[in-house]
Amino acid sequence: MPAKVIVNPYSNRWNAKKRWPQAESALREAGVDFSVVVSEQRGQPVQLVEKAVLDGFEPIIVAGGDGTIGEAAIGIARAKKNGHLGVLGVIPLGTANDFACNLGIPLDLNEAAKVIGANKTRTIDVCKAGDRYFLNNSAMGLEPYITVLEKKMTFLKGIPRYLAAALKGIMQNPSWQASVEWDDGSYEGPLTLISVGNAPRTGGLFYMAPHADPADGKLTAVLAYKKSSLSLLALLPKAMTPAGTFVKAEGVQEIHATRISVSLQSPSPAHTDGELFPEQMNNLEYSILPGMIDILVP
């Protein structure tokens, strides 16, 4: 049975559609036996992946961005229902391509295709936010608030759009009254953000869970509250470095846990792998499924 490639042409504001012919040629040059299905609308990759798995295809190869990879995880889980989720490959056609960068998958399409052809895998954890599966990160509070702003911006493209949205969100400095519980601790009080990572980088620029390890069986979360926009802005350059020094700042806490329960007095946007929930959330339960998927890596 050949691999099944799920192409999301919408990724990177339709730039993925332009780059797919190059990616297709690269896969064939790398000797990958595959068939292709192209998503025709937002959200459809979930259904396409689910059908491909039920039809017996493996590996599933995602040609798209981080959101499409997250949708693939949901589709595989729906098809598998229980047990290991099989093998997933990535052709990075997104804007940020955080998941690929976190796992060392090349952004060059020819090199990414060679990785798939080599068939070397790494076993990593799968995370859940409520009923939604994700592979890279999820958040409530400021991070998805910024995502809402970013999706409304049409005058910028790529990483500059993320940065502009981040600056706008920081200056607005929203906050929520929260109650957070995890394996061996809890927090109650105001929160600017809670970011839950399976890997360090998100948004193309930010290391929101700088010490996250996708294979350690733990969620890594950062809770932060800053009263003023200026103090929040001061964290921004620190959050943009792999060293992750911002987690040592006053009002910031990094935790490692197998479960995290978040309850907010007022609803917040929420996302998994950059894809917003259809409604704002007051409560969300995070959990982890250790070693549940194999990713094709260098």
- Which CATH number does the domain 137-289 belong to among 2.60.200.40, 3.30.70.141, 3.50.50.60, 3.30.70.2740? 2.60.200.40
Tell me, what DSSP letter sits at residue 216? S
Instruction: Give the pLDDT confidence of 80-111 residue by residue, as tens digits.
Output: 988 899 999 999 999 899 999 999 999 999 99
pLDDT digits (tens, 9 = 90+) for 207-244: 999 999 999 999 999 999 999 999 999 999 999 999 98
Per CATH, 3-119 and 137-289 having the same topology is answered: no
What global pTM score does this model have? 0.93
User: C-alpha angle 58/77/86, rounded to 5°?
Assistant: 30
Q: Where are the alpha helices (DSSP H) in the chain?
A: 15-29, 44-54, 66-80, 98-102, 109-118, 142-152, 158-172, 229-239
Other CB atoms closer than 10 Å to residue 184's CB: what's the count?
Answer: 8
> What whole-number distance in Å separates Cα of residue 176 and Cα of residue 194?
10
Q: Domain 3-119 has what CATH class?
A: alpha beta
Q: What is the DSSP letter of 149?
A: H
- For the chain, percent of residues with pLDDT exceeding 90: 85
64 and 94 Cβ atoms separated by less than 8 Å: yes
Q: Which residue has the higher pLDDT, 129 or 15?
A: 129
Phi, psi dihedrals of residue 198, rounded to the nearest 5°: -100, -15
Q: In the chain, what are the domain boundaries? A: 3-119, 137-289
